[in-house]
Amino acid sequence: MTFITDIVSTNVHESSVSAIKEMTMLSAKVEGAAMLTWGLPSFRTPEYIRQGVKDYLDNDVDAGKYTLPDGLPALRNLAAKKYNENTGIEVDADENVMISAGNMQALNTLFHTMLDLDDEIILTDPCFASHIQQINLFSGKPVYWPLDENNNWSLDVDLLPGLITKKTQAIVLVSPSNPTGKIFSREELIRVGEIAKQHNILLIIDDPYSDFLYENREKYFNLASVEALKQHIVYLYSFSKSYAMGGWRLSYMIMPAELKREAIKVHDATMICAPRIAQLAGIVALSQPSNHKQEFEAVLAERRELITQRLANVPQVFFSQKPEGAYYVFPKIISAHTNSKEFAIDLLYNTKVAVTPGSAFGPSGEHHVRMAYCVEEDVINLAFDRIEKYFR
């Protein structure tokens, strides 16, 4: 213990780097590891976006400057238009749209804006690990809403009212889900919307994956398209996966005007604005036609078939339900083990295969692992060749 321990806040000290990154960092030190830890797609940012950004750098004298805290008006207008195309809901680029440095930063802004000590946010369980961490960092309390594993991780809406207290501020929804790949049904989501409205709770829709739906496109429903919920919904769209722009750090937030007026204070005080160069990339991304999303989805569909088939070949190790969307599988560990973290570490050191322990995604994630199949097929095959050999 040094004086550093004393000066670090308890919240930060008690928090840790997410298990996703922890496993990725551990596996980076294992030479030749087959990494299925990180949801980092293997795709390159599409050519038209790279070219458009080069043009801006050459010709836009303002390209290196700050923007307003809520982002470039041209990008906010495009986001409002896109949102209207996708949901049928009219929003105002000035009143309702804010540009952020990725959905992580957007969520950080929201939690910072909303949370007082012990305020509660309801998270599906399992959920995205960073949601838990962010809420804890702002002294809030994650409240776990267990998904129904027997029903391929669907929402159990009957449980929801019992989780709501005077301290509940919001429910976070991700569909298709990370880590399970589940697409929540229209009926379930509408019921969740009704409950949230009745209790005056915000619904935060974190959406990095709705472009990856495979044969389940018909099943997908965006709750943000319900006009009656307009004042209760914050919708976050990430460019990271659909446009292979994870490193650019870009997303847009659509939210009630009153909330935007509060959240913009946080944005201004913490980051001034999302990087302008990424915002310019976003303008190019949204203003030019491109079929790259269909191409990405087709490649991911093949990888999903491959990993589903490879998992089926090791029933003594994993039990897996086929994911519906996104690019993760969340199999249950069948072989003898103590907990998912030890299993993941043993797997890494014994087989050079890196997966993320399910416990990182909430209590219901224990005894599972998450595998991200957005990597090249060779990596998936290498990982499963090693797993098959080790567990033979």
Ligand X SMILES: Cc1ncc(COP(=O)(O)O)c(C=O)c1O
The binding site for ligand X (CB under 6 A) comprises 39, 102-104, 128, 174, 178, 206, 208, 238, 240, 246, 251
The count of C-alpha atoms lying within 13 angstroms of the C-alpha of 280, restricted to the half-sphere facing its C-beta, is 21
Considering all CA atoms of the chain, what is the largest pairwise distance in Å, rounded to the nearest integer? 62
Amino acid occupying residue 103: N
Burial (Cβ within 10 Å: 0-12, 13-18, ≥19) of residue 377: middle
Nearer to ligand X, 46 or 102 (CB): 102
* Identity of the residue, 171 or 387, whose beta carbon is nearer to ligand X in the bound complex: 171
Question: Do 237 and 64 touch, CB atoms closer than 8 A?
Answer: no
Closest approach of Cβ 240 to ligand X, in Å? 3
| CA distances, 162 to each of 143, 159, 194, 196 (Å) | 11, 6, 15, 12
3-state class percentages of the chain: helix first, strand second, coil last, to nearest 5: 50, 15, 35
CB of 128 to ligand X, least distance (A): 4
Give me the least distance between CB of 130 and ligand X, in Å please.
7
Q: Which helix (H) or strand (E) holds 339?
A: none
CB of 198 to ligand X, least distance (A): 26
Q: How far is the CB of 39 from ligand X (least distance, A)?
A: 4
Tokens of 95: 């009143």
Least Å distance between CB 189 and ligand X?
Answer: 16
Q: SS3 of 138, please?
A: coil
Give the residue among 144, 204, 146, 201 at the shortest CA–CA distance from 174. 204
Q: C-beta of 330: minimal distance to ligand X in Å?
A: 13
CB 182 within 8 A of CB 323: yes
Q: Which is nearer to ligand X, 80 or 99 (CB)?
A: 99
Question: Least Å distance between CB 124 and ligand X?
Answer: 10
CB of 246 to ligand X, least distance (A): 5
Q: Which residue is nearest to ligand X (CB)?
A: 102
**Nearer to ligand X (CB atom), residue 214 or residue 317:** 214
Pick the closer one to ligand X by CB: 8 or 272: 272
In this complex, which beta carbon is closest to ligand X, that of residue 87 or of residue 242? Answer: 242
CB 319 within 8 A of CB 331: yes
Residue 303: other Cβ atoms inside 10 A: 19
Nearest distance from C-beta of residue 178 to ligand X, angstroms: 4
Nearer to ligand X, 96 or 210 (CB): 210
Query: How many other C-beta atoms lie within 10 A of the C-beta of residue 372?
Result: 26
Closest CA to 328 of 39, 134, 31: 39
Residues paired with residue 316 on neighbouring β-strands, in sequence order:
none
* Closer Cβ to ligand X, 214 or 361, answer by number: 361
Based on CB atoms, which residue is closest to ligand X, 37 or 87?
A: 37
Residue burial 71-84, b: 16+ Cβ < 10 Å; e: rest: bbeebbbbbbebbe
The region that residue 154 occupies, defined by phi over 0 for left and psi between -120 and 50 for alpha, beta otherwise, is beta
Tell me if 264 sits within 8 A of 271, measured CB to CB: no
Q: Among residues 76 and 241, whose Cβ is nearest to ligand X?
A: 241
